[in-house]
Amino acid sequence: MALDPTKHADWEIAADAETRMKTVYELGDALGLEKEELLPYGHYVAKLDYRKIMERLKDKPDGKYVDVTAISPTPLGEGKSTCAMGLVQGLGKRNKSVIGAIRQPSGGPTMNIKGSAAGGGLAQCIPLTPFSLGLTGDINAIMNAHNLGMVALTARMQHEANYTDEQLALRNLKRLDIHPKKVEFGWIMDFCAQSLRNITIGLGGKMDGFTMQSKFAIAVSSEIMAILAVASDLKDMRERIGKIVVAYNKQDKPITTADLEVDGAMTAWMVEALNPNMLQTLEGQPVMVHAGPFANIAIGQSSVIADRVALKLADYNVTESGFGADIGFEKFWNLKCRYSGLKPNCAVIVATIRALKCHGGAPIPIPGKPMPEEYNSENVGWVEEGCKNLIHHIETVKKAGINPVVCINAFYTDTDAEIDAIRRIGEAAGARVALSRHWEHGGDGALEFADAVTDACEEPNDFKFLYELDTPLSQRIELIAKEVYGADGVSYTPEARVKLKRMEADPDLKEMGTCMVKTHLSLSHDPKLKGVPKGWTLPIQDILTYKGAGFVVPVAGAISLMPGTASDPAYRRVDVDVETGKVKGVF
């Protein structure tokens, strides 16, 4: 019997369920995996050899493909991972063959405010501690690969500063003439460390490196993570890593990892990381965990490889996109599906009463502080006003030609009148609407949700991209701003406009996808603007080049690739039982 989520913390529920987990061998047998396709990391976590699986099952038809996204969340998130796990468990209760495919959590939010993104209540991915604290080392591999590229760049800059052309030639080096103020790359680590956003390196003597301004970003924002998400195989990954632009030279030509002759070594760190990880739900359905979070500053998708494997092994694959449909779903739609060639059958839009109230006029919740009391009493007016945000996201999914299902992620404080308002408004907007109580009741609470998704998957759709790759970059940015965010137009800083002009003239960049960086807390660039803001312009501050991943990355508004740690972070409550070695307090 599972613990009561109204009386126990998520980590306590997970720890209790872990005493009844299936082994990876049992999960593998249920999926029909062959012995050499399963790569165990202990008894309850494994990697899967995607190459062997895909070769063996290459002629098997794919299962149904479901993406889980959401309305614009409050600062506390709205249970998208919880809904993904609840849907997997609900489909399992309906005797469907199903696999989840979610993103590996970053150590930053796990040790900060948001938590580990394993789900919650009776809809979680377990074992929780490995899931939350490094798993099989994929993010560590990304950090090593990325930072090795930065080591190669800074060492080269030092040597070129200290040696003549003749001395470089004796060392079999050709001068790259890197411009110290046009370095695109920085360092990464997997924590929220605001004090490292802007740093100076190379202090000391000439043997201590090249002195210049530098920076840190959070690990999951690395282009290496984006490459892991979209790569089709090792050959593709190797080619993409060699195209990463780390800097520009004094003639404004790009310097790549291949120019630094470090691309092969960077790929060497990533070989094992390319295999997706397999865990399970609280109710024993398999879950692929692969690639990264942060759709506001990165692609924010589980990997193409994980989805392809899951679609071959099961009749339903429930994948997950970060944050709201304006951010995560838009990137799933126009980037991930473009690179994978996969077409979804259905998209779930997660909504909660509290988030709709926030968009409808209730006080904005503050991370680390209790939820304002206004959220604990009925207010149908706030819910109805907030549903304008829901309708906007329904329309975004419909623009992709995909069948939308609204999941009302129920809290036990929600009232019937508030739930009825969402049903009425969502159905009038052309979506199926399902109430789900998976947080409180697990798979048994998600049957209506599972049935709505099953029905939506049986209907034909007309999937189409928002833009074609030959569309000029400026037009793509404007399309996303107007059609997905609801902006009146786009503005550019002088620096961003210079980069835009250069990119539109570069034939190699013309056919790259567009990966927007924008706050997840509003349809606009301003996190304080809730609901569906009107009469605003999207300000593009900068445009980055992720040539290896195949993206240009416009940065909108004041957003940092290195989040900050709050005053009351989660790490204050994480500890270890020194008698058993069990970790407690991760949520």
Q: Which residues are catalytic, by number? A: 80, 82, 103, 114, 295, 323, 411, 439
Reference 291, options 237, 351, 235; nearest CA is 237
Structure tokens at 578: 């020194």
Partners of 316 in the beta sheet?
64, 98
CB 28 within 8 A of CB 314: no
Structure tokens at 392: 């906007």
Reference 323, options 560, 73, 518; nearest CA is 73
CB 548 within 8 A of CB 244: yes
Backbone phi, psi, residue 380, to 5°: -65, -35
Q: In whole angstroms, what is the distance from residue 187 CA to residue 170 CA? A: 30
CB 584 within 8 A of CB 127: no
CB 10 within 8 A of CB 17: no
CB 546 within 8 A of CB 331: no
Q: In whole angstroms, what is the distance from residue 430 CA to residue 280 CA? A: 33
Residues with Cβ within 8 Å of 9's Cβ and at least 6 positions away in sequence, in order, are 587
Q: Are strands 489-492 and 38-40 parallel, antiparallel or unpaired?
A: unpaired
Residues with Cβ within 8 Å of 123's Cβ and at least 6 positions away in sequence, in order, are 82, 83, 85, 86, 89, 281, 282, 438, 439, 442, 446
Residues with Cβ within 8 Å of 371's Cβ and at least 6 positions away in sequence, in order, are 76, 354, 365
Q: Are strands 403-409 and 432-436 parallel, antiparallel or unpaired?
A: parallel
Q: In whole angstroms, what is the distance from residue 50 CA to residue 273 CA? A: 11
Reference 222, options 135, 275, 294; nearest CA is 294
Structure tokens at 167: 């001395």
CB 282 within 8 A of CB 131: no
CB 177 within 8 A of CB 248: no
Structure tokens at 180: 């110290």
Which CA distances in Å does 376 have to 71, 148, 328, 357, 440?
Answer: 20, 50, 29, 11, 17
How many C-beta atoms surround the C-beta of residue 477 within 10 A?
Answer: 25
